[in-house]
Amino acid sequence: MIHLTDRQIDELIGFEQAIPALESAFRELARGAAAVQRRVRTTAGATKLSTLGAVLPEADVAGAKVYTTIGGQFNFVIVLFRASDGQCLATLDANAITRLRTAATTMLAVRRLARAGARTAAIFGTGVQGRAHAHALAQFAGIETLRIVGLEGDAELARSLNEAYGARGVSASAASAAQALDGADVIVTATRAATPLFEGRDVMPGALVAAIGSSLPHAREIDDATLARAGRIVVELRDQAREEAGDLVLAAPGVVDWASVAELGDVLEGLVPGRQRDDEIIVYKAVGFGLQDIALAALAYRTHVARTR
């Protein structure tokens, strides 16, 4: 049986491969051909154990991601099986996959939900996901101006983005929240904040707000004003979002109409509309779910096998 480390996975797959693989998996789920196991958390003392998974018959894989959370630090592993006969194919470290799949999925949301001609992005957060999203936006979303908001490391991240993509016409800078929001077509929140990062009245008409920082029901990055102004709210999996998405769960009664909350796979498959007006504010709220992890684990495994034949 194969074991792939985070370092190997980084060498095997990147955003260019991950984005289409994730789109295929989301569409498979929307067609009713795939199944998802929602996250289950078990806690004793200071240790939390979480599991989530998926079955993707079209890719002939099934699997689960298992991870611990101790002192705010995560350690992930994925077990991958062949769906058709149950054979265990591989185990994989999953820190790299978790970083990659979250930002790659946001790129799918940006492509379908941001308004045409979106060029300016505000990114709140300079940690693993903030950095991943900044690089993905610079490479795969047509973003030309990146404004970085962070408690620390904002100037350093901006400098690294300018060094990497400045020749392509991308410009990045550290900014205050007010500066970042002014004229922002795409707003990404990738922090560990438990309370809203900005006031919804400051979001410009037509913006896409991608809130991806928290999967906890007691934490939120965006406020009720942002949600109330949104013409559409899109999530990865509605049932899981109702349990985990604090941005939505903590909203005042009547602010979120769950009957109208759309799933990203349905948007990608064309089963429900995405953006309908240029001035429409859209909220994409992500918590992460097993479909993404297993889709990219399968991609990494198959790429590895193909290279070692």
| Per-residue model confidence as pLDDT tens digits over 226-237 | 999 999 999 999
pLDDT exceeds 90 at position 180? yes
pLDDT of the residue at 301: 98
Residue 48 banded pLDDT, cuts 50, 70, 90: very high
The Cα–Cα gap between 283 and 231 comes to 8
Average pLDDT over residues 197-214: 97
pLDDT exceeds 90 at position 86? yes
- The domain locations on the chain are 2-98+290-308, 115-285
Closest-CA residue to 235 (of 115, 119, 113): 113
Average pLDDT over residues 151-158: 96
The Cα–Cα gap between 250 and 256 comes to 10
pLDDT of the residue at 52: 96
Residue 186 sits at φ, ψ, to 5 deg, of -130, 130
pLDDT exceeds 90 at position 28? yes
Residue 214 banded pLDDT, cuts 50, 70, 90: confident
Beta bridge partners of 120: 145
**How many other C-beta atoms lie within 10 A of the C-beta of residue 243?**
13
pLDDT of the residue at 269: 97
pLDDT exceeds 90 at position 30? yes
Q: What is the mean pLDDT of the chain?
A: 96
pLDDT digits (tens, 9 = 90+) for 253-283: 999 999 999 999 999 999 999 999 999 999 9
CATH of domain 115-285: 3.40.50.720
Answer yes or no: same fold for 2-98+290-308 and 115-285: no
pLDDT exceeds 90 at position 162? yes
The Cα–Cα gap between 109 and 28 comes to 16
Residue 1 banded pLDDT, cuts 50, 70, 90: confident
**Contact between residue 63 and residue 78 where contact means Cβ atoms under 8 Å apart:** yes
The residue count of the chain comes to 309
CATH says 2-98+290-308 is which class? alpha beta
pLDDT of the residue at 17: 97
Long-range CB pairs of 88-92 (<8 Å, 24+ gap) are 88/1, 89/1, 89/2, 89/61, 89/301, 90/1, 90/2, 90/3, 90/4, 90/297, 90/301, 91/1, 91/2, 91/3, 91/4, 92/3, 92/4, 92/9, 92/297, 92/300, 92/301
pLDDT exceeds 90 at position 72? no
Average pLDDT over residues 164-170: 95
